[in-house]
Structure formats: C-alpha cells, structure tokens
Amino acid sequence: MTSTARNGFSRHINLGIRTRITAALALASAGTAIFVLLGAMWIISGIVDRADERELRSHYDALQSRLGQEARRAAAMSAVVATIPAVQEAMARDDRDALMGLFGAGFAALKSDYGVDQFQFHTPPAISYLRVHQPKKFGDDLSGFRKTVVAANQARKPIIGLEGGVAGLGIRRRRSGRAGRQASRFRGVRPDLRPAVL
C-alpha cells in the first residue's frame, strides 16, 4: 500500500474512533441527564405530595376543631332548653304557642348572631312537634332520615352527631326531656356549618 493510501485509511480509522468516542460520550451525558432529571422529578413529586398532605391535614384538623366547637355549643343550648320548667310544662300541655312565646322572638337573634338556623322540638319516634324557625310546619315524621332523634328516643339520653337533613348538613344535638307522664321530647339545634366547611 502506498503511503498516501495508508494516510487516508489511517485518517478514516481515526475519524471513526473519534466519532465513536464522541457519540459514546454524548449518549452517556444524555443518559446521565435523563437519570438526574427523573430523580429530581421523583424527589420534587414527593415534596409536593407531602406538602399537599400537610395542607389537607391542617384543613381536616381545623374542620374537626370547628365541628367540636359547634357540637359543644349545640349541646349547651339543648341542655339549657331541656331544663327550663316552662318548656317542660308547655311540652306536657302540648302547647306549641307557649313554646313559640318562649323562643320565637329570640330565634332571629340566635340566627343572625350565632348562626343557628334550625331549632326544633320532636316527639317520639321522630315527629316534628315544633320548628321554631318554621312554626307553621309540624307533624311530619322524620324517622326516615333523622337517626339522632330516633336514637335519642330509644336510648333516653343525649345524642349528638353530624347528620344531613332537608336543609343540609348540621350538628344535631338531641336531649330527652320528661314532663310529668309525658313521653320524652327532643329538642334539636342545628348551627350553620357552611363557614366551617368552606
């Protein structure tokens, strides 16, 4: 082989080796970049997931706290109403007008100042005796969906729970009362929970 031919062949071999080394380095760099990028995305995704979890837990804890506060408030209101002698007497006499006289005028303030949007009296098993917020509507059987009323009647003890109804979700506090020989009566207070949920 002539020296010119040898130089051309040698250049071709060198060019092929250079190209191969360059291609190998480029592929190794691209592979490393993809590996690092995927790893970074996985780490960032984990950080975002943990932050979302913390945020959700914070909202859950705030809602639980608010529900607890509303439950205590409803329990206090129900306990006070159940121990008022005039309420016990009105229930024993089956006197809706007397109950409206006791609570009707003050209900607007309860609603505007404290967010109480329902105040009810029930008779067993779960018959609507008086809705202070809708006094003309009474006598309907709520036992199909007012499980706290039914449970309080059966257990003859205070029951509290989060329960859905026609007007929406609310904390229901039922306290049985006894007036003479009358059957247990139930009072329900449902505070407005929309601010707690929103």
Q: Which domains does the chain have, with CATH numbers?
A: 1-198 (3.30.450.20)
Q: Which pLDDT score, from 0 to 100, does residue 100 have?
A: 92
Distance, CA of 116 to CA of 80 (rounded, Å): 15
Q: Which amino acid is at 133?
A: H
User: 28-41: per-residue pLDDT in tens?
Assistant: 999 999 999 999 99
pLDDT at 38: 94
For residue 151, count other CB atoms closer than 10 A to its CB: 14
pLDDT digits over 25-77, tens only? 999 999 999 999 999 999 999 999 999 999 999 999 988 888 788 777 777 78
User: What distance in Å separates the CA atoms of residue 193 and residue 53, rounded to the nearest whole number?
Assistant: 24
pTM over 0.85: no
- The average pLDDT across 100-104 equals 90
d(CA 146, CA 125): 10
pLDDT at 140: 83
Does the bond joining 191 to the residue before it have cis omega, within 30 degrees of 0?
no
